[in-house]
Chain A
Amino acid sequence: MLAALVVSGGAFAVIAASGINDNLVYYWTPTDLHSNGAKAYGATIRLGGMVSAGSIRKHGGSTVEFDVHDGVKTVHVKTMTVPPQMFRENIGVVVEGTMVRAGYFQSNRLMVSHNNEYKAPKAGHPVEREELEKMLHTVDEGKS
C-alpha cells in the first residue's frame, strides 16, 4: 500500500515537473531576450517594452509590425492580432509569443498596459526595469 502510494506520488511529481517545464511563460524585457540567446527560440515569452516611435507598419488583413524597446535593446515584432484600442507609438505593450529563426518576434497576443501608474520615460532615458516588470504583470486581464 505504502509502496504503491510512493510510486504513484513519484510518478505524479515527474509528470507535473515536466508539464511545468514545457509550459513556462517567461516574463522578459528586450534586454533579457537578447541575453538569453538561443533559449528564446520556441519558448513562450511575454515581452514587455515600449513601442518605438515611427516603427508601426500595418499590412493588409490584421498583420502589424513594430519595434519594442526598453531603452537598451530593441526587438522587431510581427503580430496577426487586431491591436487594441489604445495601441500607438511610445506606449507600453506586452506581446506574447516566441522568437522565430527569421529574426523577429512572432506574437499571437498584443496587450496594452492597463497600469495607470506607468509613466513613459523621458526621451533618451532607459526604461526602468522595475516599471517594465510591473507592467508585465498588470496586463493579465485579457486572456486568450
Chain B
Amino acid sequence: MIAALGRILILGSLLAAAAGALLGFASARTRSFDGLRWARRMAYVYAALIMGAALLMEYALLTHDFSVAYVAQVGSRSVPVWVTIVSLWSSLEGSLLFWGFVLGAYIAIAVWFTRGLYAEYQPAAIGVWLSCATFFSFLLAGPANPFGTVVNPPLDGPGPNPLLQNHALMAVHPPFLYLGYVGMTIPFGFACAALMKGKLGHDILKPLRESLLLPWVFQSMAIMLGGWWAYEVLGWGGYWAWDPVENASLLPWLTATAALHSLMVVERRGILKGWTVTLIQATFLLVILGTFMTRSGVFNSVHSFTQSAIGPTLLVFLAAALLFTVALLSFRIDRLESEGRIEGVATREAMFVINNLVFVLLTFTVLIGTVFPLIVEAVSGKQMSVGRPYFDSMVVPAGVALLFILGIGPALPWGRSTREQMRKALLPPLIGAALLVAIGLLAGVRNAWTLVTLAFGGYAAWVTIVQIGRGHILRGRRRFASYIVHAAVIVVLIAVAVSSSMRETTELHFTSGQTQRASGYDVKFLGVFQQQEAHRSSLIGRFSVSRDGKEVTLLEPRMNQYEMMREPIGTPDVYTTARGDFYMSLSNIDPATQTASITVYSSPLIVWIWIAVIVMALGALFGLRPKKVVAVRDAKAAVPVGSAPEPA
C-alpha cells in the first residue's frame, strides 16, 4: 500500500520535473509568459511530490512497515527512534530519496524568491534545476527504487550500518552535506542561464551570490561535522585522512569558496565574469563527481554502504553535465564581456585573482590525488591509493599561501594606491605576526610550517580585527560578516597546524588498578565493565584521569559488538579542554584477565576547529540579507542591486 503510493509520488515527480524543465527551456526561447508560469507551477508540483515521497518513507520507517523494501533493508525494531529517523539516509536508495527531498525544497524556495524577478534568466534557470530534478527522480523511479514491495515481509530488519549508529553526530552530518551538495544546483542553474543569455548583469549577481553562499555554509558545516564524527568515532585520534570520500566533500567547497570571492570582483570591477561562471559550474560538476565516488562503490569506505548499479548512470549524468557545461562555456563565454581591467599587482583585485588561482590549484591537487588510483585501476587493473604525505606536502604550502593572502588582500585598497598608503596598510599588521609567533615559541611550537602559519595568522588577524573595528555592524553587514568568516578561518588554520604538528601519541598496557603517565596526565585503570543494550553489547574500559593529583575526568573508551556485525567497533572517549584534547582509544580489552591496551592521543587546540567552523557558518549566514529582497521588488528591479554603493 505505502509502497504503491510511494511509487506513484515518485513517478509523478518525474513527470512534473520533466515537463517543467521542457517548459522552462521553451519559454526561455520564446519568452512566453504562460510557459514560464507553467514551468513555475511544475516546479512546485515536483517539490510537493518528491518531498511527500520522502515523508512517506519516513512514515514507513517509523511504523516499521517491512513490506516496503527499503524499510526491510535498513529498519529495525530494536534501534532507538532517532536511528530509525536517520535511517532514511543510511543506505543508497533512501539517501537518493533524501536528495530529492532537499532538491525539492531548494527548487521551491528558489522559485518562490525569484517570482517576478530576473525575467531574463529565470526560465532557463528553472529549466536547468528541473533537468537535474528529472535525473534524480529517474534514479528513484528505476535503478534505485526505495519503494519496492516485499512479498513476505519479515517481522524485523537488520537496522542501519552499525558505524552510523555509533554516534549522534551521524544524525547531523549527512543532512548538512546534502544541504550543501544539493544546494549547489541552484547557482549552477543561474550560471547556466547567464551563459545561455550571454550576459551576466549586475541584477543576477545577488541571487547568484546568495544561492551559492547558503549551500557553502552547509557544506562548511558538513565537512567539519564529518571530521568531528570521524574524530569521535573512528578512534585513530585524527579527523581528516585524505580519504576519497572526504576529498569528495572538500572539492566542491574549494571551488565554491573561490567563486564567492571572484563574484565580489565581478561586482566591484565587472571583470572575471566568465571565470566566475566556470567556477560555479565546476562546483556542481564536482558535486556530481563526489556523488559518483561515494555512491557507486568505486571506493570502499564507511560512506559507500552498498555496491550499486547506479554508478554507470551517475557517470553518464556527469558526462552529460560536463559536455553541456563545456559546450555552453565555449560558445558563450566570450559574450560575458569585461567592463574593466586589473590595474596592478598590489591591488585588492589582484589578490582576489591570486586567491582564486591558489584555490583552483588546491582543487586540482586534491582531485588528482583522489582520482589517480581510479584511473590507474581502470587502465591497468592495479590497485593502489595515494598516501597521505602527497596531500600534506601539496596542501600545507597552499593553505599557508591562502592565509598569507587572507592577510594582505583586505589590507590593500581597491585599484591603484600610493606608496604611502601601502606602507600604512601593510606595515602595522607585522606586529600581530610577531606577537603570535612569540606566543607560539613560548608555548613550545618548533615546527617550521606551524611557525609560518602563526606568523601569517597573526598578520591576518591584525588586518581582520582592524577591518571589523572600522565598519558598522548593521550598515556594513556583508562586510562585517565576511571579516567574521575570515577571523574564524584564521582560527581554524592555526588550530589545524598546531594540533597536527604537536600531537603526542602514547601506547599503554594496563592491568586492573595500575596507574601510568601520558602527556602530563596520570591514567588509572579501574577495570573492565560489560554493558548490554537491545542492539549491542559493549566492553567498557574505565579509566580515571588526573592531573597533579586531582582527578579531572573519567574516560570510558569501549568496544561495541553489534548484533549484525562479526567484528566489534571501538569507540574512543575524549576529555576536551580549551587547551587541548586527551583522547583515549582501546586497542585491546579482556574482561577475563581485566587487562587493556590503549592508545592515548594528546592534541592541543582541537576543539577550536569545531567552534571556529560554527562561527564561520553563523558569520556567513549573518551576511545573507533577506531584507534587501523586498526593496528590490518594490523598485521592480529597475535599479540593479549590485551597483548600489558597495559594502566591500
Q: Tell me whether A and B are bound partners.
A: yes
Query: Which chain A residues have a beta carbon within 8 Å of chain B's beta carbons?
Result: 12, 15-16, 19-20, 22-27, 44, 46, 62, 81-86, 112-114, 116, 133-134, 136-138, 140-144
Chain B residues near A24 (CB, 8 Å)? Answer: 384-387
Question: Are B393 and A85 in contact, CB atoms less than 8 angstroms apart?
Answer: no
What's the minimum C-beta distance from A83 to chain B, rounded to whole angstroms?
Answer: 7
**In this assembly, does B587 line the interface, its C-beta being within 8 Å of a C-beta of chain A?**
yes
Q: Indicate which residue in B236, B238, B566 contacts A116 across the interface (CB closer than 8 Å).
A: B566
Chain A residues near B389 (CB, 8 Å)? Answer: 22-23
Whether A140 touches B364, Cβ cut-off 8 Å, given contacts A24-B386, A27-B385, A62-B507, is no
Q: Indicate which residue in A81, A85, A138, A143 contacts B300 across the interface (CB closer than 8 Å).
A: A138
Q: How far is the CA of A143 from the CA of B601 in the complex (A)?
A: 13
Q: How far is the CA of A114 from the CA of B163 in the complex (A)?
A: 11
What's the minimum C-beta distance from A2 to chain B, rounded to whole angstroms?
Answer: 14
What's the minimum C-beta distance from A26 to chain B, rounded to whole angstroms?
Answer: 5
Interface flags for B357-373 (1: CB within 8 Å of A; 0: not) read 00001001100110010
Question: Are B588 and A141 in contact, CB atoms less than 8 angstroms apart?
Answer: no
Q: How far is the CA of A16 from the CA of B393 in the complex (A)?
A: 10
Q: How far is the CA of A12 from the CA of B234 in the complex (A)?
A: 34
Main secondary structure of the interface of B (DSSP, over half): mixed
Interface flags for B37-70 (1: CB within 8 Å of A; 0: not) read 0000000000000000000000000000000000
Question: Are B300 and A134 in contact, CB atoms less than 8 angstroms apart?
Answer: yes
Interface flags for B272-315 (1: CB within 8 Å of A; 0: not) read 00000000000000000000000000011110000000000000
Interface flags for B371-389 (1: CB within 8 Å of A; 0: not) read 0100000000011111111
Task: Give the residue among A12, A15, A143 with the most B Cβ atoms within 10 A.
Answer: A143
Chain A residues near B564 (CB, 8 Å)? Answer: 116
Question: Are A16 and B234 in contact, CB atoms less than 8 angstroms apart?
Answer: no
Whether A82 touches B588, Cβ cut-off 8 Å, given contacts A62-B509, A112-B567, A116-B565, is yes
Q: How far is the CA of A113 from the CA of B569 in the complex (A)?
A: 11
What's the minimum C-beta distance from B184 to chain A, rounded to whole angstroms?
Answer: 25
**In this assembly, does B235 line the interface, its C-beta being within 8 Å of a C-beta of chain A?**
yes
Q: How far is the CA of A62 from the CA of B599 in the complex (A)?
A: 12
Nearest B residue to A138 via CB reads: B300
* Residue contacts A-B, CB under 8 angstroms, 29 given: A12-B361, A19-B393, A20-B369, A20-B390, A22-B390, A23-B388, A24-B385, A24-B386, A26-B383, A26-B384, A27-B384, A62-B597, A82-B587, A82-B588, A82-B597, A83-B587, A84-B588, A85-B586, A85-B587, A85-B589, A114-B569, A116-B566, A116-B567, A133-B383, A134-B300, A137-B300, A140-B301, A141-B163, A141-B301
Chain B residues near A112 (CB, 8 Å)? Answer: 567
Interface flags for B223-252 (1: CB within 8 Å of A; 0: not) read 000000000001110100101000000000
Chain A residues near B566 (CB, 8 Å)? Answer: 116
